[in-house]
Amino acid sequence: MMADSRYGQWECRRDPRIRRPIATLGNIASDGIPHLASEVQLLYKAASPRPKDELDLVAALPVLTATQRRWLADALTLVHPGRPWRDRLSPSR
C-alpha cells in the first residue's frame, strides 16, 4: 500500500483522486501497536465486503470522528458509488 505514494502523499490505487498525507495513514493504539487508520482500512474493505467486514464497520462506526466519517463517505462516493456503507456514515447515525 505504501508503494502507492508520491511526494509524501498516499494515492488510492482504485482512484488517484483519493489521497492524503502519508503521515495521516496510521495511528498508534493505546498499547503502542501501530495500525492503519480505520477509515482507510474500511475503504479497502468496502470493495467487496464480507460478513467480517460488515462487523468491522459496525464496530468502527461509534468511534469514527466526524472527519473520519466524512473522509470515508467522500472516498466511497468516488470509488464505490451506490454502496450501502456510504449512507451509514452520517454523523447523526
The answer, yes or no, to whether residue 92 has pLDDT greater than 60, is: no
Tell me the domain boundaries of the chain. Answer: 5-87
As a whole number, mean pLDDT of residues 66-93 equals 88
pTM for the structure as a whole: 0.86
Distances (CA, A) of 53 to 59, 84, 88: 10, 13, 14
Q: List pLDDT tens digits, range 24-65.
A: 998 888 899 999 999 999 999 999 999 999 999 999 999 999
**Which residue stretches of 8-83 are H helix?**
38-45, 51-60, 66-79
72 within 8 A of 42, measured Cβ to Cβ: yes
Q: What is the pLDDT of residue 39?
A: 96
Cell of 53: 467486514
Q: Residue 89, Cβ neighbours under 10 Å: how many?
A: 21
Could you tell me if 81 and 15 are in contact, meaning their C-beta atoms sit under 8 angstroms apart?
Answer: no
Mean pLDDT for 1-5 is 63
Q: Say what percent of the chain tops pLDDT 90.
A: 62
Q: Is residue 1's pLDDT more than 80?
A: no
